[in-house]
Structure 1
Amino acid sequence: MSKIDGEVLSFTHGNKEITLRVFGDEFYARYESLDGYTTIYDTDLKKYCYAYLNNGKLSSSGIDITDPSPSDLTRHIKEDPSIRSEKFSMRYNELRPKDEKKNFENNMRAIGPNNGLLEGRSITKGVVRGLTVLVEFSDLSSSVTVDDVSNMLNGDNYQENGNFCSVSEYYKLMSSGKLIYNNHVVGPVKLPNGIDYYKRNLLIKDAMDILVRDLNIDLSQFDSTNSKIVDAVNFLYAGRTVYEKQLWPHNSHADLEYNGYKIDLYMLSSLGRGPSDLSIGTFCHETGHLLFRFPDMYDYGERDGDREKSQGIGQYCLMGSGNHLNNGLTPSPVCSYLRDLAGWCENKIILNELTGKINVQHGDYNTILKYNTDIENEYFLVENRTSVDLDKHLPSSGLAVYHCDINGSNEYQAATPTEHYQCALIQADGNLDLENNRNPGDNRDLYGNIEGLALSYNTNPSSRQWNSKDSGLIISDISDSSMNIEFTLGSNV
């Protein structure tokens, strides 16, 4: 799942619910009260308590977070970086698929070793049928039905609860019809233990054991490549999302086998409190990992030898934090960089071969505009991200220019020749807010309504290569954001 950066979420606290701010992801997270005090769940007291530092590690004070704060406690306390790194590494190694682990030497976790993508089997084209399992706990059921979920995943013209479309429609749009991804929804499967048990113990095996034994599911229908490997298994559990341990939405490797068919990669998320909570954002994001091996385009702050936090590509891609836009109802599109790596862009316009007026159409997901540099695998992409349709809830509207290198990592915000983003949004205001972790995007990030020179070797921001040499890319006279944006390539300004 993409990271959460200070969102206010609800948690069970004894016999009531409380709201906390959450910072982090499935690998490491920190929680604060709304007035800024760091909190930790006390497993003995079964409630959230004020936290304090004990040798650099967060420990429970035993004082209920809803009680007045201790007078000597400071706000926003964080664990020592070495403790955070240790916890992150432990959880990361637990969740990452084995194909990723064996190829990530020297802690290089975010770099896509497979032509910019993660290691493992990728299925980006054709007809794919996933298996989605609804799961209930022994102490928690759900009012969400198989039909509710099937409509969200497979529906035509789906707009329930304010969703922009169904998951199937989303990926049909992103792939320009090259991928048809539908899901067979089954359940609910009633697990033998309660929700607290499955916060500590992964529910996947228990759910699959029951599914195969009691529902006699035929796994062969979910193997589109005839490889004896199930293409995609999704588990959706009852209740609102639990941002803790094994129930934090994630994707990983299962290493299970039933009747000769292997369960390899899976994803896990929640159903919400009822049908009105169903949203496509997280499901689409996790599917990006599960089926297409897209890397996360945000910065963990604890990967690839880099401990500095940044926003990566921010909200401008589904695989950044864009899956959260409009509360997950209108997730950001997959950025053109990843669509191209997936083989979804047949119409490739090489800007090096052109000069003069260029027109960029919004929503033409089959097309990329690419400017190559003299360095292999380093290039620029130009895309119309006017705030309509799936881009409606972006923080900015206009022309996006990305600086790409498939050997980069969105953990590397330093922008040096050796350590730089895999896909960096060139922010029009030159403030580098994404790199400096100031925000996941603001209204000055994209280009629009600019007379004269907009981007070149000498502008700020510039179109220089990562080694600071001139790429030769010059953009000027950009029209206002609209369904068709016009700009001049090359300039006599």
Structure 2
Amino acid sequence: MRLKVATAAVMLLASLFAQAGIPYKDSVYEFKQPGGEKLRVHLDGNDYYAEQRTDDGSLIVFDSAKKGFCYARVNATGDDLVSTGVLATNAQKRSLSAGDKKQQGLSPEMRAKKAKEKFEKMNNRSLESARKSAAIAASAPQSLTPITGQVKGLTVIIDFPDVPGTITQAQVNSFLNDVPYTGFGNAQSVRGYYQSVSGGKLDYTNTSTVYYHAKYNKAYYADSSLDSGVRSQELITEALNWLEYTQGFNFASLSVDANKRIRGLNFFYAGGADSAWSKGLWPHMGWLNNQFCADGVCTGYYQISNMGTSLAIGTFSHETGHLIMGWPDLYDYDGSSEGSVASYCIMGFGAVGSQSQFRPVPPNGFFRYLAGWDTVTELNPALNASAPKGRLSHTSGSHSLYRWTNQAKQDEAFYLEAIYKADQNLYQLGSGLAVWHVDPAGNNSDEWHPYVQMEHADGRRDPEYNVNRGDATDLYDGAIYKAFYDTVPNNYASRGTNSRWWSGAGSNFGLANISPAAQTIAFDVVKGDGTPGGDTYTGYLSGTNASAIQPSPYFYYGGGTIKANLAGPASGADFDLKLEQWNGSAWVQVASSTSPTSNEAITYNAAAAYYRITVYSYSGAGNYTLTVTK
């Protein structure tokens, strides 16, 4: 069965796709300097902007004239890092003043500008147009066709005359497709990961080839004087022609989009990257400029990466999120923050940690919903007349979500899911209730209005302030962090954690009494100010012994907690409240509240049955308001 992608889904994939890159955080690689020394290079950034440093924190840049890394400085205008002409070495140790751990690089504003320029060069379109297209396409996720069934990709393995492959085709095939799989320390294969996070709805397999032996030695392709899209695409074209004309590969066997473009096009080459960042054969995802077509299908986007001496599924699975699902990155391209979602999603940093690279964390619930893997129950009664109310619960990994949608802007919503550190979530940072604030008008490089924002329970917003990639106190755990309201405006000035819409308007959505972190988490759905939500009934009792049934004549409840709160006259009357259950032949009182005032409350753990609630005047007359949650 081929990948099912409707026209709207193709729009989403095409528009979000361009927002794709590989994240790096103090990633260390070795580069052979002209004198033969293997320089340790520390890399922070992504495909669009990165800073590189030596062990002692000195900035370095690749100098084409010197054919190696040289120490760098910020130029006089402050808009670029330039070479000093002095080749960098591991031996030099920079003298550090107190608290000075790293040489100062570009300003956050200039980093953002450089990232934007690089993005537009790599994708041949403006960043603004990409984001606008993404917002339009993602504004109606209900129109997308689920990405389910069997999806077939291609992984071509490549070595060189002077660098033979050391990882076998069988090992690559197992890494991609075996279930179960534990090779190279991984907890699963790429296929196993997507089977897990999709609840078995997506079966993504890859055809792995025998080795293609490149025409030239590796140094030809890894030339760091050229951008990564030059010789790498030459190598890719060589390999595809070899597959077609020498191997007779049937490209029509691969899954394609509505434009007959291959979805999962992957390339692995032998050894290390052997290039500077964003140069030569540096791992990246891109668009094949010289389109290759065979058997009625053509190329589009691809990913290419080195194999090294071992394989971890994290980065490959992250890039598959782009290639197959069209999910955007959720980390910040300009490096001014870690992005709001941080390490709590594979499209943030949830696939590049020391442990999560071998067992990536799942996509956030909203992305799983976009792919058709999770169902959603709408909680906003203005949009769902039968919305559940009162005490609810959610189970981690259940592939169901709760949502509260903005009635005035229905592509903006809060999504709720329990996250428990076990199974696929084993390497999440914490356990508890996650609240995702989704708005396609946001973007990943605006940490104060991202596409997907995590409402951090601790209120500190550490990832946004570039303090960390999230921590265990970001989820509502029911111990310290038990409630979620709209009490603080959610805007650029306050930067608060709350349930307000991005416009600053209250959503009238709140959560209270969140239970302790566990596989299943319970919570009360309340109003945005923290007061009980539910159905509200008003009426008037004319005097002593008068009564009214609310709702009339009765209601059916499937089981759980029923809460009834009565507010009657402030003085001169005494109203009571009683809850009755139908036992099959008569109404039987199961709970009551009869204080000497007109303010009464009932909380009852109800079995599935028919019920009715009676407001009764013990004495006096007046108006009343009854709020019922269940």
Please say whether Structure 1 and Structure 2 have the same fold, judged by a TM-score greater than 0.5: yes
C-alpha separation in 2, matches of 1:272 and 1:220: 30
TM-score by length of structure 2 reads 0.69
Distance 1:122 1:477, change over 3 A: closer
Q: Secondary structure at the match of 2:502?
A: coil
Secondary structure at 1:93 match in 2? helix
CA distance in 1, matches of 2:67, 2:190: 36
Alignment of 1:295-374 (within 5 A): 295-301=328-334, 308-325=336-353, 326=355, 328-345=357-374, 347-352=375-380, 353-364=387-398, 366-374=399-407
Moved more, 176-185 or 224-233: 224-233
Q: Provide the residue aligned with 2:460 in structure 1.
A: 431
For residues 31-78 of structure 1, give each alpha carbon's deviation from its aligned partner in whole angstroms, at most 9, with x where no partner exists: 112221112234444443322234443214323322325779994232
Residue 257 (structure 1) aligned with residue 282 (structure 2): no
Give 1:372 shift. 1.4
1:233 alignment counterpart: 265
Distance in 2 (CA, whole Å) between partners of 1:265 and 1:373 is 35
Of 206, 225, 243, which aligns to 1:211?
A: 243
Q: Verify the 8 A CA contact 2:314 2:358 in the aligned structure 1.
A: yes
Q: Give the Cα–Cα distance (whole angstroms) in 1 for the partners of residues 504 and 260 of structure 2.
A: 49
Q: C-alpha offsets along residues 87-108 of structure 1, whole Å, 9 cap, x if unaligned?
A: 5345423433x7xx38x55574
CA apart distance, 1:271 = 1.2
1:61 is matched with which residue: 85, 96, 121?
A: 85
C-alpha displacement at 1:283, in angstroms?
Answer: 0.8
Q: Distance in 2 between matches of 1:223 and 1:452?
A: 45
Letter of the structure 2 residue corresponding to residue 298 of structure 1: Y
CA distance in 1, matches of 2:140, 2:51: 29
Q: How many Å separate the matches in 2 of 1:369 and 1:340?
A: 11
Distance 1:449 1:9, change over 3 A: farther
How is 1:367-386 mapped onto 2 (pairs within 5 angstroms)?
367-374=400-407, 375-386=409-420
* Cα distance change, pair 470–84 in 1 and its aligned pair in 2 (3 A): closer
Structure 1 gap segments, 5+ residues each: 303-307, 415-419
1:398 matches 2:426: no
Name 1:288's counterpart in structure 2. Answer: 321
Counterpart of 2:609 in structure 1 is none
Is contact 1:224–1:231 with CA below 8 Å preserved after alignment? yes
Give yes or no for contact 2:111–2:334 (8 Å, CA) kept in 1. no
3-state SS of paired residue (1:170): helix
Q: Is the 8 A contact 1:310 1:411 kept in 2?
A: no
Alignment-mate amino acid for residue 22 of structure 2: S
Distance 2:261 2:37 in 1: 43
1:5 alignment partner AA: K
CA contact (8 A) 2:140 2:411 kept: no
Counterparts in 2 of 1:124 and 1:174: CA distance versus 1, 3 Å: same
User: Where do residues 176-215 of structure 1 align in structure 2 (5 Å cutoff)?
Assistant: 176-199=199-222, 200=226, 201-202=231-232, 203-215=235-247
Deviations 1:352-394 (CA, angstroms, capped at 9, x unpaired): 3222222211112x31211112222111011112221222222
User: Which one of the candidate residues 106, 115, 119 is aligned to 1:92?
Assistant: 119
Structure 2 vs 1, CA of residues 267 and 110 (structure 1 numbering), >3 Å: closer, same or farther? farther
Distance 2:39 2:327 in 1: 34
Given the alignment, which residue of 248, 268, 274 partners 2:304?
268
TM-score by length of 1: 0.86
Kindly indicate whether residue 520 of structure 2 is the aligned counterpart of residue 484 of structure 1.
Answer: yes
Are residues 452 and 238 of structure 1, via their aligned partners in 2, closer, same or farther at CA, if it must alter by over 3 Å?
Answer: closer
Matches within 5 A, 1:414-429: 414=448, 420-429=449-458
Code of the residue aligned with 1:401 in structure 2: it is V
1:464: which partner in 2?
A: 500
AA aligned opposite 1:371: W
Point out the more displaced range, 6-15 or 331-340.
6-15
For residues 414 and 91 of structure 2, the distance between their equivalents in structure 1, rounded to whole angstroms, comes to: 53
Contact 2:146–2:373 (CA<8 Å) still a contact in 1? no
Q: Distance in 1 between the 2:333 and 2:154 partners?
A: 29
Cα distance between partner residues in 2 of 1:327 and 1:17 = 28
Residues 482 and 208 of structure 1: CA distance in aligned 2, closer, same or farther (over 3 Å): same
User: Structure 1 CA distance, aligned partners of 2:63 and 2:139?
Assistant: 41
In our comparison, the structure showing a higher alpha carbon Rg is: 2
Distance change (3 Å), C-alpha of 1:402 and 1:70:
closer
**Alpha-carbon separation, structure 1, partners of 2:460 and 2:105:** 27
Task: Please tell me the root mean square deviation across aligned C-alpha atoms, in Å.
Answer: 3.0
SS in 1 for 2:209: strand
Counterpart residue identity of residue 289, structure 1: H
Ranked by relative contact order (alpha carbons within 8 Å, sequence separation 6 or more), the top structure is: 1
Of stretches 427-436 and 197-206 in structure 1, the one that deviates more from structure 2 is 197-206
CA shift, 1:485, in A, is 1.5
Which of 398, 423, 442 does residue 471 from structure 2 map onto?
442
How big is the shift at 1:130? 0.7
Q: Could you tell me whether the CA contact under 8 Å between 1:39 and 1:51 is conserved in 2?
A: yes
Gapped regions of structure 2 (runs ≥ 5): 1-20, 381-386, 489-495, 533-630
Distance 1:33 1:109, change over 3 A: farther
Distance verdict in 2 for CA 1:182–1:89, change over 3 Å = same
Residues 393-435 of structure 1, C-alpha deviations (whole Å, 9 max, x = no match): 2222211111111232122223xxxxx2111000111011122
| Cα distance in structure 2, aligned partners of 1:170 and 1:256 | 30
